[in-house]
Structure 1
Amino acid sequence: MSTRYLESLFNPESIAVIGASERADNLGGMVLRNLLGGGYPGRLVVVNQSDYENVHGVPCVRKVSKLDFSPDLAIICTPPDTVPKMIRKLGECGVRTAIVMTGGMSRTHSKTGQPLMYSVRDAARETGIRVLGPNTIGLMVPARHLNATYAHMGAIPGRVAFVGQSGTIASSVLDWAFARGVGFSYFLTLGDGMDIDHDDLIDYLAQDTQTRAILLHIENIPNPRRFMSAVRVASRTKPVIAVKSGRVPESEWFTHALPAGIKRSDPVYDAMLQRAGVLRVDGLGQMFDALETLTRMRPLRRESLAIMANGVGPGVLAVDRLADLGGELAELSEDTVRELGELLPPYWTRKNPIDLNYDATPELYGKAIKILAKDPNVANVLVMYAPTLIEDSLQIADSVVQASKGTRLNIFTCWLGQSTVMDSREEFYRAGLPSFFNPEKAVMAFMQHVRHQRIQRLLTETPESFTDHFADRANTRKLVARALRDGRRHLSNREARRVICDYGINTIETVYCDDVEEVLEVFAVERRPIDVTVIHEDVCYPFLDLSPTQRRYKGTVKKLNSEQVIIDSCRFLMDEYREHFPKSGFLGFAVQRSYQHVGGIEFSVGITRDEVFGPLVVCGAAGAQINIMTDRQIALPPLNMVLARELLRRTYMYKLLKEHSLKPEEDIRAVSETLVTLSQIVIDIPEIKGLEISPLLFNEQGAVAVNIAIDLDEHPVKPIIQPYPRELEEWLVLPKSGRRVIIRPVLAEDEPAHRLFHEHQSPESIRYRFFQYRKHFSREDVAQMVQIDYDREMVFIANAPREDGEGEETLGTVRTWTDADNLRCEFAVMVDDRMKGEGLGVALMQKMIDYCRARGTMEMIGNVLPDNRPMLQLAEHLGFEIKYNPEEEVMDLRLVLNEPQKDWQKERLGKGGHL
């Protein structure tokens, strides 16, 4: 990912249109007309091999080599086979960015046999030019009068950025947005995305102060890890709303092999977008409806909804849709019911939704809103109106607008109809109130706001500590390494059981037998009922998948209580095995005593691995009577307890657990702990390709694994979210106090200790760190500090055991934020006031310097208050260049970590460009 030269793309001072002519159907000519019509203020030139003096009044030259200047942006509209050579020539001439509008390059092949678009990519990489496309509609920046597209209409200026992949979809978005009065800060499509991709643009837009929201149309994501890292940064500061097309196999344009245990790729995208903080919607209509509520409504204090209308019917439709989407109605207080009763007919329902009656006046609407504003149970109100002969819709709209001013309520409206309510809708638009044509769309848009806020909450949740990140799993590593060394691609049932036992997951006591005689010997020990499972090579692989046309395979027989029954059952199991798996080698029988008290609702949990998205954690139903694939839900590792609970909550089995378990909270926690542990297993031992526990049952100790299967891969795909980097942990002993301190990356679970650390510092230390006095740090403030993306930022904390023996305390912290191009990182450091003279600040800073230097960052920068002598002395000791900044009245600190090797790096660092 890189924002290199994107400023030249979005704000070019000069543009060359290559291949433009005055023919009506000429692609370059269309682009040139849009540039001229949009009032582009920069320098324009046309390149066309025909001997034109000018095209549409713009000077023309025959070749790129004939240009007397190097344009910031080149727009290429020439035939496919000319494009790679043109890109190379432009890059060699010093052109920084190019838009390739030529289509068909994915289906036109070069002499090497690969599609021409890859030749474009190779030429761009070799010469350093940035390329948007091929097959892009182009780019609009309305505020800068830049319309470098062949679109049928321009965009109006606004605060929303749109990044699409399809030009035809983008054209319809323009029409749609214009009709709704939505303006854009940036509007473009990626096309084939050979160079500039979603993550590059999202990084740029995340920093852009003119962009309040980002809309994405996604067909595929070539590099999920880079995409995830960029979007997680952007979604923390502005809404990101996405439409992902290709939801079913028949509509997927880019397909790849599905991982074991998963039938469609769409749920994987769902899990990724949710984890990134993106609100995914089902279509363009929902995208703009969600944009209405997310940008025009305040954050939700409550998720419940109050509904009022001038009739029963609209309210009922709204309630039905709310129930379908899992929403809830606000419960009106007694005072609210009493006050509304003084205004409404005696036969009103005295509950939510509120029927104002068909003859409701503007005054009644206004008074009802003011009554609801006083109700502590009401935070969000949907105000609806159906046209009547009695009242004027515009007057009622004006009354709603006036009543909404100064209120704490989130108010949005639904004026049903079309022709007679357009003026009212315009009134709402000018007042900043979201408005919709029908109850279903209004409620859906509200629930999108609810969903977005829930997703955002997950980004800042700080979970309780559960997984032991620091435990030694050497035995499991040796076991897996030995299996791979022996050429095996799976673990035996016995080995798989040892792996999860090593990680603390309870299993049913199991005895392995080579034949029926050994099974009978196990039974003879206590002569109590046993369960017998046939073990063969295929069942050692997770997510055993039979064809839907096959008869169900039975691999276990339960509660066998006599020798003859055991013999007959083992014979039956062997017949089943031979019929369904004739080529699978027989490995014996697994025997479990039936009196082991396990039972309850059966879960199937595990790990599978996608070739693009890496490892995935799955959770859902198990058992013969359940459609396992329908209930299977997906999440991306690493997981913590909050994320594990969210994954579990999405399953149907969660509802059964809540309703039928004797100990629902204990069982929910047990399943969540198991999911977190599985997540840790795949991070610790990446060679584990897949792992399935089916079923996962319960006993008095918690969750218990019955059957386990694990397969292996010597070349695993890494997680797309950087897990906790355990290798960066370091221990040291403080020279004065002798305290043993661990310096390690921060974890989300560190939030309580991190908050105490900040609250215990002196006012002066807080001022030095935050450039202002702060008395209080909320949980949300500190959550932002500890919930980090290790790909983008790093926080090292110094922790030591508390003197009272109650857990750990934080003694110091240093953090850096790194730009998308890994050019600069900005640091901040703070050490506990009690640690003065211990050298902890030096140790933290040196560790961060070493880390940033090793990852290739060019410079470390920071700002220090002029009176912060301790920090200035530390910076001088570490070799920082220190200069006074009179504009900001701070000391600027700069430390060179690595020398830039490329011209663009030198240019950006020399200019001090934006990060």
Structure 2
Amino acid sequence: MGTRYLENLFNPSSIVVVGASERADSLGGMVLRNLMGGGYPGRLLVINQNDYDDVHGVPCVKKVSRMGFTPDLAIVCTPPDTVPKMIRRLGEEGVRTAIVMTGGMSRAHSKTGQPLMYSVRDAARDTGIRVLGPNTIGLMVPARSLNATYAHMGAIPGKVAFVGQSGTIASSVIDWAFARGVGFSYFLTLGDGMDIDHDDLIDYLAQDSKTRAILLHIENIPNARRFMSAVRVASRTKPVIAVKSGRVPESEWFPYDLPVGLTRTDPIFDAVLQRAGVLRVDGLGQMFDALETLTRMRPLRQESLAIMSNGVGPGVLAVDRLARSGGQLAKLSDRSIDELADLLPQYWTRRNPIDLNYDASPELYAKAVKILARDPEVANVLVMYSPSLTEDNLQIADAVVQAVKGTRLNVFTCWLGQSTVMDARDEFYRAGIPSFFSPEKAVKAFMQHVNHQRVQRLLSETPESFTDHFADHSHTRKLVLRTLRSKRRHLSNREAREVVRDYGINTIETYYCDDVEEVLEAFAVERRPVDVTLIHEVSCHPFMEQRTGRGRYKSTIQGLNSEGAILESCKILMEEYKRFYADSGFLGFAVQHSYQHVGGIEFSVGITRDANFGPLVVCGAAGAQINVMTDRQIALPPLNMVLARQLLQRTYMYKLLQEYSLRPEEDIRAVAETLVTLSQIVIDNPEIKGLEISPLLFNEKGTVAVDVAIDVSDTPGRPIIQPYPRELEEWIVLPKSGRRVIIRPVLAEDEPAHRAFHEIQSPESIRYRFFQFRKHFSREDVAQMVQIDYDREMVFIANAPKEDGEGEETLGTVRVWTDADNLRCEFAVMVHDKMKGEGLGVALMQKMIDYCRSRGTMEMVGNVLPDNRPMLALAEHLGFEVSYNREEEVMDLRLVLNEPEKDWQRERLSSDSH
């Protein structure tokens, strides 16, 4: 739905509370008391059908029609049956936002037969009012003295936004945060989320300068694509930390249909949140621990950790937790070891963790910190202290705080204990240094910082160029469509192999036989050992064992080297088939020469589909001796080589491949290429519902697929991340030079050419584009330019073969950033200096204008320096309105693309322009 009217929700100048009374148990009365107690400065009104003049001193009227003014926000606390009608009346009166706190809306209405909360949703859609809830705790904006909740206490002002789903959890979060001194910019819960949802709020918070971090409590994600798009934008600029409840089937509140090939939903949410750049934590305690490190520590220059303490025990506990969490100890330099040895007893171990001894003084702590600060191998230090009779822990804390000042170290502390160390912990808090009660919590919080940076790196990694987005796979497309027209729901074994071969995946040569006699004939050709598989209709579906639960069913017998063995094996296979799958049509036998592969390493890779999250790429172990489901990992398409490698690294089989493969790097790359290819197959053919290659083995050319199964559906499955829009590619011929140029959306793989394009431009062109001189563009800068969300941004580049014939070069680029409501987009364009006068700027701009107009965007805007005469001339040529902005000292450009159809669009465009 976007951010429409959310400003009225978060910054209302007037509020009406519907259903408030002075009864002690009145929900509306509790809300009204919190509003007044919090010092809300705006106008208040109560609606109550009883004949009250006022409630708690606030004026009261009986009906919506008698309000006398139109409030920005309505808070509805009336009985469930009355809520849909009340929302409709408020919307008709022009109220823009409402909070419905009433619970019990999931029961069906006696007349409509649908749950009341859906009637609320329908009323909101019909009248245009935005609704938070039903069944929400409400909303707090502490900096604006707004406490529109029934919570037992208010929140203190801060820079953290909390968006939850459960009111009871939210109440405990307020209490918890207050005790830790954590303040909030916004605090609210969605409740049933019939209108305003996670993605709407995240879009708003991503743009809010007063919010430095976003905390999410998630029970479900109804609109996966909008959620993914919103969170990916937000997580690039501020930490997003999430708790997802319902990790096991027993705790799932909402029933969930599992995709075939999976036994739990939790790995899906893991993949979604990781791909969105979100740090997922296991509970509320970890959420605040992670918040400590992410907001108080600098970005990590290195991931290793140095540990010091006044005793062996705490250091050992910290190392244990670090190892279990996948972290690593920092290796101290020889110079640091020698300097520490001059300060410590002779029996010191001369390695990390550093034992300062039980009687360590404040001076010793300070000197040790300063030694580590000079060590180029040390970037992060955990300083621990156990209570002792010999020293004052507050003095030690002060010494550490002073020693850290002016260093590049990331320091966090653990003062063990409770009653005697609270003053020291307060000292660290005031100094902005994270502090924890136990070594385990401290290391866990540090590793959350590490994991967050790893997730963030995935958003800006430049992948290897592998997938050919421009290849022709029309054979597969025809095959899939022909299967659907024939009313089949699966491809034959032979057709499935054709699909993966069409995309470049090697397959084992297979002979298809109608009966046993043909099997014997196939064996007689070379008379070397063969594997025989019985094929029937059910076996042509992927993840058959997971679908049927018949893991003991034998469909293949391997290593047959005589006619007798083949006859006996075919008999056994037929008996097994008739026993388990008598109703599944017999399709014959498949014969393959027995394949010898290295070390018994077998992968199972494929595609499955989730009803909410769309296609999923799966990867893990294969083989009868392995619990396949335990190792199966998940990723979201589209994949590139970086993401594919990251998926592979999460599997147990990755470790086996590293250890037992004769050429591990080549085989790792081959599996990653296969995963990228599978991602591309399902993007090109969204009717493919499932695809399984099992096993995937290795030969001298890379990976080889042994068995392939594919099923299809009339309903296309679209990835929740917009893939590369190939349909937007366009070839043009430049009129002056006759040079042939392709204009296409940017790819992450374009990063090297994009960087070269920017670095070769003249200082004047750079100043015109970035409004300042820039001599250098880092890899991270350019990665953000090319790794875009096609749902929110678009970048068209103009590429052509280099004049020397060695590869391609980028000749021009145009980009737009579109707001969450698709009202306005902001453009920037730049053309290679040598292409001036070729008309390339006009071609790029016109393509972007046509694209944004087709998406329904209302306006395109931009800023241009007053002396940028070529751009101003281009803008006037394309029909932009040009005006001088005295405040910013730039020229404002505006082009109307589509006329607004709704009142809220006209209001927003009008208010934004002023």
Sort the TM-score into its range (normalised by shorter chain). Answer: over 0.9
- What is the alpha-carbon distance in structure 1 between the residues aligned to residue 91 and residue 594 of structure 2? 73
Displacement, 1:577? 1.6
1:380 is aligned to 380
- What is the alpha-carbon distance in structure 1 between the residues aligned to residue 669 and residue 768 of structure 2? 42
1:595 and 1:394, CA in 2 relative to 1: closer, same or farther beyond 3 A? closer
Give the counterpart letter for 2:762 in structure 1: S
Give the counterpart letter for 1:337 in structure 2: I
The C-alpha deviation readout for 1:611-648, integer Å capped at 9, x for no partner, is 11100000000001111000000000000000000000
Q: What is the 5 A alignment of 1:330-341? A: 330-341=330-341
Asked whether the equivalents of residues 599 and 698 of structure 1 are also in contact (C-alpha less than 8 Å), the reply is no
Q: What is the 5 A alignment of 1:130-279? A: 130-279=130-279
- What is the alpha-carbon distance in structure 2 between the residues aligned to residue 806 and residue 323 of structure 1? 48
1:796 is aligned to 796
The C-alpha deviation readout for 1:861-904, integer Å capped at 9, x for no partner, is 00000000000000000000000000000000000000001111
Displacement, 1:256? 2.4
Displacement, 1:108? 4.5
- What is the alpha-carbon distance in structure 2 between the residues aligned to residue 595 and residue 524 of structure 1? 17
1:293 is aligned to 293
- What is the alpha-carbon distance in structure 2 between the residues aligned to residue 913 and residue 555 of structure 1? 69
Asked whether the equivalents of residues 260 and 547 of structure 2 are also in contact (C-alpha less than 8 Å), the reply is no
2:449 is aligned to 449
Give the counterpart letter for 1:888 in structure 2: E
- What is the alpha-carbon distance in structure 2 between the residues aligned to residue 225 and residue 815 of structure 1? 22
Asked whether the equivalents of residues 599 and 697 of structure 1 are also in contact (C-alpha less than 8 Å), the reply is no
- What is the alpha-carbon distance in structure 1 between the residues aligned to residue 415 and residue 313 of structure 2? 13
Asked whether the equivalents of residues 531 and 591 of structure 2 are also in contact (C-alpha less than 8 Å), the reply is yes
1:316 is aligned to 316
1:535 and 1:547, CA in 2 relative to 1: closer, same or farther beyond 3 A? closer
Displacement, 1:548? 9.4
Q: What is the 5 A alignment of 1:738-753? A: 738-753=738-753
- What is the alpha-carbon distance in structure 2 between the residues aligned to residue 861 and residue 600 of structure 1? 60
Asked whether the equivalents of residues 602 and 621 of structure 1 are also in contact (C-alpha less than 8 Å), the reply is yes
- What is the alpha-carbon distance in structure 2 between the residues aligned to residue 768 and residue 101 of structure 1? 52
Displacement, 1:805? 1.7
1:40 is aligned to 40
2:642 is aligned to 642
Displacement, 1:111? 1.4
- What is the alpha-carbon distance in structure 2 between the residues aligned to residue 432 and residue 257 of structure 1? 46
Displacement, 1:581? 1.4
Asked whether the equivalents of residues 117 and 194 of structure 2 are also in contact (C-alpha less than 8 Å), the reply is yes
1:546 and 1:217, CA in 2 relative to 1: closer, same or farther beyond 3 A? closer
Asked whether the equivalents of residues 599 and 661 of structure 2 are also in contact (C-alpha less than 8 Å), the reply is no
2:840 paired with 1:840:
yes
2:608 is aligned to 608
2:306 is aligned to 306
Asked whether the equivalents of residues 545 and 551 of structure 2 are also in contact (C-alpha less than 8 Å), the reply is no
Further displaced range: 43-52 or 198-207: 43-52
- What is the alpha-carbon distance in structure 2 between the residues aligned to residue 78 and residue 528 of structure 1? 80
- What is the alpha-carbon distance in structure 2 between the residues aligned to residue 111 and residue 669 of structure 1? 61
Give the counterpart letter for 1:661 in structure 2: S
Displacement, 1:310? 0.3
The C-alpha deviation readout for 1:396-433, integer Å capped at 9, x for no partner, is 00001001111100000000000000000000000000
Displacement, 1:846? 0.3
Displacement, 1:717? 2.5
- What is the alpha-carbon distance in structure 1 between the residues aligned to residue 841 and residue 309 of structure 2? 63
Q: What is the 5 A alignment of 1:549-628? A: 552-594=552-594, 600-628=600-628
- What is the alpha-carbon distance in structure 2 between the residues aligned to residue 698 and residue 758 of structure 1? 42
- What is the alpha-carbon distance in structure 2 between the residues aligned to residue 896 and residue 327 of structure 1? 53
Further displaced range: 104-113 or 746-755: 104-113
Displacement, 1:583? 1.3
Give the counterpart letter for 2:473 in structure 1: R
2:13 is aligned to 13
TM-score calculated relative to the size of structure 1: 0.99
- What is the alpha-carbon distance in structure 2 between the residues aligned to residue 57 and residue 88 of structure 1? 27
Aligned partner of residue 602 in structure 2, secondary structure: strand
1:465 is aligned to 465
2:26 paired with 1:31:
no
Displacement, 1:559? 1.5
Give the counterpart letter for 1:255 in structure 2: P
Asked whether the equivalents of residues 165 and 217 of structure 1 are also in contact (C-alpha less than 8 Å), the reply is yes
Asked whether the equivalents of residues 289 and 445 of structure 1 are also in contact (C-alpha less than 8 Å), the reply is yes
The C-alpha deviation readout for 1:755-777, integer Å capped at 9, x for no partner, is 00001110000000000000110
The C-alpha deviation readout for 1:52-100, integer Å capped at 9, x for no partner, is 1111111111111111100000000000011000000000101010000
Give the counterpart letter for 1:339 in structure 2: E
2:369 is aligned to 369
Aligned partner of residue 696 in structure 2, secondary structure: strand
- What is the alpha-carbon distance in structure 1 between the residues aligned to residue 678 and residue 622 of structure 2? 17
- What is the alpha-carbon distance in structure 2 between the residues aligned to residue 174 and residue 598 of structure 1? 57
Asked whether the equivalents of residues 496 and 709 of structure 2 are also in contact (C-alpha less than 8 Å), the reply is yes
Give the counterpart letter for 2:388 in structure 1: T
Asked whether the equivalents of residues 80 and 108 of structure 1 are also in contact (C-alpha less than 8 Å), the reply is no
Displacement, 1:458? 0.1
Asked whether the equivalents of residues 599 and 699 of structure 1 are also in contact (C-alpha less than 8 Å), the reply is no
1:97 is aligned to 97
2:807 paired with 1:820:
no
1:867 and 1:189, CA in 2 relative to 1: closer, same or farther beyond 3 A? same
- What is the alpha-carbon distance in structure 2 between the residues aligned to residue 765 and residue 110 of structure 1? 68
1:866 and 1:501, CA in 2 relative to 1: closer, same or farther beyond 3 A? same
- What is the alpha-carbon distance in structure 2 between the residues aligned to residue 284 and residue 307 of structure 1? 26
Give the counterpart letter for 2:78 in structure 1: T
- What is the alpha-carbon distance in structure 2 between the residues aligned to residue 225 and residue 7 of structure 1? 24
- What is the alpha-carbon distance in structure 1 between the residues aligned to residue 728 and residue 233 of structure 2? 23
1:546 and 1:453, CA in 2 relative to 1: closer, same or farther beyond 3 A? closer
2:652 is aligned to 652
Aligned partner of residue 605 in structure 1, secondary structure: strand
1:517 is aligned to 517
Asked whether the equivalents of residues 600 and 661 of structure 1 are also in contact (C-alpha less than 8 Å), the reply is no
Displacement, 1:599? 6.6
1:876 and 1:415, CA in 2 relative to 1: closer, same or farther beyond 3 A? same
Give the counterpart letter for 1:603 in structure 2: F
- What is the alpha-carbon distance in structure 2 between the residues aligned to residue 765 and residue 554 of structure 1? 68
- What is the alpha-carbon distance in structure 1 between the residues aligned to residue 514 and residue 583 of structure 2? 18
Asked whether the equivalents of residues 110 and 116 of structure 1 are also in contact (C-alpha less than 8 Å), the reply is no
The C-alpha deviation readout for 1:482-501, integer Å capped at 9, x for no partner, is 11111100000000000000
> Across the two proteins, how many residue pairs are aligned to each other?
914
Give the counterpart letter for 1:147 in structure 2: N
Give percent identity, aligned residues only.
Answer: 83
The C-alpha deviation readout for 1:689-740, integer Å capped at 9, x for no partner, is 1000000000000000000000000112311000110110000011122111
- What is the alpha-carbon distance in structure 2 between the residues aligned to residue 577 and residue 392 of structure 1? 77
Displacement, 1:549? 7.7
- What is the alpha-carbon distance in structure 2 between the residues aligned to residue 794 and residue 47 of structure 1? 48
Aligned partner of residue 261 in structure 1, secondary structure: coil
- What is the alpha-carbon distance in structure 2 between the residues aligned to residue 230 and residue 62 of structure 1? 41
Give the counterpart letter for 2:314 in structure 1: P
Unaligned runs of at least 5 residues, structure 1: none
- What is the alpha-carbon distance in structure 2 between the residues aligned to residue 557 and residue 249 of structure 1? 36
- What is the alpha-carbon distance in structure 2 between the residues aligned to residue 718 and residue 821 of structure 1? 22
Asked whether the equivalents of residues 373 and 407 of structure 1 are also in contact (C-alpha less than 8 Å), the reply is yes
Asked whether the equivalents of residues 162 and 214 of structure 1 are also in contact (C-alpha less than 8 Å), the reply is yes
Further displaced range: 590-599 or 401-410: 590-599
Asked whether the equivalents of residues 536 and 585 of structure 2 are also in contact (C-alpha less than 8 Å), the reply is yes
- What is the alpha-carbon distance in structure 2 between the residues aligned to residue 294 and residue 488 of structure 1? 52
Displacement, 1:546? 5.4
Displacement, 1:523? 1.2
Aligned partner of residue 99 in structure 2, secondary structure: strand
Displacement, 1:580? 1.9
2:116 is aligned to 116
Asked whether the equivalents of residues 529 and 595 of structure 1 are also in contact (C-alpha less than 8 Å), the reply is no
What RMSD over aligned residues (CA atoms) do the two structures have, in Å?
A: 1.1
Give the counterpart letter for 1:159 in structure 2: K
Asked whether the equivalents of residues 12 and 72 of structure 2 are also in contact (C-alpha less than 8 Å), the reply is yes
TM-score calculated relative to the size of structure 2: 0.99
Asked whether the equivalents of residues 634 and 647 of structure 1 are also in contact (C-alpha less than 8 Å), the reply is yes
Displacement, 1:582? 1.7
Displacement, 1:597? 6.1
- What is the alpha-carbon distance in structure 1 between the residues aligned to residue 31 and residue 323 of structure 2? 48
1:39 and 1:698, CA in 2 relative to 1: closer, same or farther beyond 3 A? same
1:828 and 1:548, CA in 2 relative to 1: closer, same or farther beyond 3 A? closer
Where in structure 1 do 4 or more consecutive aligned residues deviate above 3 Å?
546-551, 595-600
